[in-house]
């Protein structure tokens, strides 16, 4: 066998051309093995990967050729004393043994000899001064020109190291991309419920709100959406994103009440591997995920005031650092915030930063409660029924004029969300049937939410409601909003409580203990 310079160059070129197009470990190893067999014969070939931290070995792919008993049964194995692989990895030098019977003291030799392998040539895979592992060629009979073959396989091992390193990098990127795609699907999973064509309205109040959204959507200014619980603030935030030039990028929702101080920076900014106990890998924060897209800060008034300062800093500077890193990350996202509270009251009570309010309140969108858009109830019932019928594959209930009038006379403290739940309930309980005004009375009464009864009953209910609210005002000293206010004690949005106070002619100032 003659291995002159031209032959070696041709061999390495053919190896490179064969393996460069491979996209998996198995196909790369098989292509390399087949190409090498065209140039010399071996009885077994394998590639070990070395994990320095775990001090272990694993196979890059299934070995080619003879399989010594016990060697291939473990996916990962310790880098044990007395093995040829350990000798090669630690010394970074080839191990050439032309007669394995003289090395019975090595723990890996016995199985090889029992399988009929009598000679082996092992080479380290080194790239950028880092040991990736080792490549082994074993033979029943020691090859001729072993010294010359050692030189050739030293060159092959260098090329194999590059190929293995590239494949490992490709595999890591593929896994990272798959992880990001899963994360993207998770983050956008609820978007199917927020199709613009499924948002129904006809009232002047809602029409004006949508005009404001459409005018502001194609800009990059911050938008503050306010409105009672259940009015659709989350939906409208997504509408703004979908109408904007950022629609092809991520819409990242941040649930502010869930952001505790200890996790605030990790959740929003991300963290580096090892930044703290339990940080086993680098985590991309929500702001970084939103780069190029939109961030929706839901229930922004619930964010503790100490954390509001950190949020303001990012919104002003458009950059931050991951926890455990000192490299600033520049971000470009649009901010949309929402709350069911009056932020100006929260500022006066010392619960919200005024500078953050002005940063968020460039465009203010107030979503009217359902009681201010009664013209929409008939349309909403019709369209929501159609949507639910399609989802559940059930016939649509038919609502009489009396049923629609009863629904229009109801206060709807839960707004559109409450109406949507009622439509879902009717689809389950009364598919394909006619729904009358009496049916609506019974259903609302059965759920404990009916407010439209006989005058005597209405008076009794109003008195009970008034007493309940008065007790809350007495306990809070006439304070309506804030963490110690009557609204929170009653579990109501501030605006809903104010509406009921006006309706019941209750003056909160009458219960101010300082008067």
Query: pLDDT (tens digit, 9 = 90+) per residue, 369-409?
Result: 999 998 899 999 999 999 999 988 999 999 999 999 999 88
Where is the domain boundary, 402, 419, 446? 446
SS3 136: strand
Q: Is 97 inside a domain boundary?
A: yes
Domain that holds residue 88: 5-174
CATH label of the domain that carries residue 417: 1.10.8.60
% of the chain with per-residue pLDDT over 90: 42
Q: The dihedral of CA 266, 267, 268, 271: what is its sign?
A: positive
| Domain count within the chain | 4
202 lies in the same domain as 111: no
148 lies in the same domain as 53: yes
Whether the predicted pLDDT of 2 surpasses 70? no
398 lies in the same domain as 471: no
10 lies in the same domain as 38: yes
341 lies in the same domain as 223: yes
Q: Is 184 inside a domain boundary?
A: no
Measure the CA–CA gap between 424 and 220, rounded to whole angstroms: 37
Whether the predicted pLDDT of 156 surpasses 60? yes
Look at 22-26, 198-202, 204-208 and tell me which has the smallest mean pLDDT. 198-202
Q: Is 182 inside a domain boundary?
A: no
218 lies in the same domain as 135: no
Q: What is the pLDDT of residue 358?
A: 95
* 126 C-beta neighbours (distance < 10 Å), count: 17
Where is the domain boundary, 368, 396, 428? 368
SS3 297: strand
What is the average pLDDT across 196-210? 82
Q: Is 188 inside a domain boundary?
A: no
358 lies in the same domain as 220: yes
220 lies in the same domain as 332: yes
23 lies in the same domain as 117: yes
Measure the CA–CA gap between 243 and 47, rounded to whole angstroms: 53
Nearest residue to 442 via CA among 471, 402, 478, 474: 402
Whether the predicted pLDDT of 354 surpasses 80? yes
Look at 21-35, 224-238, 432-446, 447-461 and tell me which has the smallest mean pLDDT. 447-461
Give the model's confidence band at 457: pLDDT under 50 very low, under 70 low, under 90 confident, else very high.
very low
272 lies in the same domain as 403: no
Q: What is the pLDDT of residue 184?
A: 62
What letter does residue 102 receive in the DSSP assignment? G
**β-bridge mates for residue 124, sequence order:** 134
169 lies in the same domain as 208: no
Angle between helices 376-392 and 401-408 (to 10 degrees): 110
What letter does residue 2 receive in the DSSP assignment? -
Q: What is the pLDDT of residue 260?
A: 75
What is the average pLDDT across 151-175? 90
């Amino acid at each position: 066998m003659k291995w002159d310079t031209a032959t070696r160059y041709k061999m390495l070129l053919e190896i490179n051309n064969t393996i460069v197009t491979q996209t998996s470990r198995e196909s790369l190893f098989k292509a390399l093995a087949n190409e090498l067999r065209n140039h010399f014969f071996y009885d077994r070939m394998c590639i070990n990967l070395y994990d320095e931290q775990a001090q272990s070995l694993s196979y890059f792919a299934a070995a080619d050729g003879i399989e010594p008993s016990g060697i291939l049964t473990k996916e990962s194995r310790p880098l044990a004393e007395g093995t040829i692989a350990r000798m090669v990895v630690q010394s970074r030098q080839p191990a050439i043994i032309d007669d394995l019977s003289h090395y019975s003291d090595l723990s890996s030799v016995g199985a090889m000899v029992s399988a009929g392998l009598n000679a082996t040539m092992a080479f380290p895979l080194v790239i950028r001064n880092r040991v990736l592992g080792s490549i082994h060629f074993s033979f029943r009979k020691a090859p001729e020109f072993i010294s010359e073959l050692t030189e050739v396989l030293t060159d092959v091992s260098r090329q194999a190291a590059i190929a293995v390193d590239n494949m490992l990098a490709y595999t890591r990127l593929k896994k990272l991309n798959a992880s990001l795609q899963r994360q993207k699907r998770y983050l956008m999973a609820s978007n199917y419920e927020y199709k613009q064509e499924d948002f129904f309205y006809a009232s002047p109040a809602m029409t004006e709100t949508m005009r404001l959204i459409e005018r502001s959507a194609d800009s990059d200014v911050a938008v503050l959406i306010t409105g009672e619980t259940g009015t659709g603030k989350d939906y409208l935030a997504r509408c703004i994103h979908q109408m904007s030039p950022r629609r092809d990028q991520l819409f990242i929702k941040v649930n502010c009440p869930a952001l505790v101080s200890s996790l605030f920076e990790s959740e929003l900014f991300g963290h580096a591997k090892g930044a703290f106990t339990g940080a086993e890998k680098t985590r991309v924060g929500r702001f970084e995920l939103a780069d190029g897209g939109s961030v929706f800060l839901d229930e922004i008034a619930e964010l503790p005031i100490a954390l509001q300062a950190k949020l303001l800093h990012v919104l002003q500077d458009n950059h931050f650092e991951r926890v455990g890193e000192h490299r600033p990350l520049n971000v470009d996202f649009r901010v949309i915030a929402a709350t069911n509270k009056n932020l100006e009251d929260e500022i006066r009570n010392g619960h919200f930063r005024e500078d953050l309010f002005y940063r968020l309140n460039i465009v203010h969108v107030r979503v009217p409660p359902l009681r201010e858009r009664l013209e929409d109830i008939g349309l909403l019932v019709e369209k929501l029924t159609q949507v639910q019928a399609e989802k559940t594959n059930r016939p649509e209930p038919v609502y009489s004029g009396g049923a629609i009038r009863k629904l229009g006379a109801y206060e709807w403290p839960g707004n559109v969300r409450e109406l949507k739940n009622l439509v879902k309930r009717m689809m389950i309980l009364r598919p394909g049937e006619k729904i009358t005004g009496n049916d609506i009375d019974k259903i609302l009464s059965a759920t404990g939410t009916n407010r439209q009864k006989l005058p005597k009953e209405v008076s009794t209910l109003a008195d009970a409601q008034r007493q309940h609210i008065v007790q809350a005002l007495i306990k809070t000293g006439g304070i309506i909003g804030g963490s110690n206010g009557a609204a929170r004690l009653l579990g109501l949005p501030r605006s809903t409580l104010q509406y009921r106070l006006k309706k019941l002619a209750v003056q909160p100032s009458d219960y101010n203990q300082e008067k």
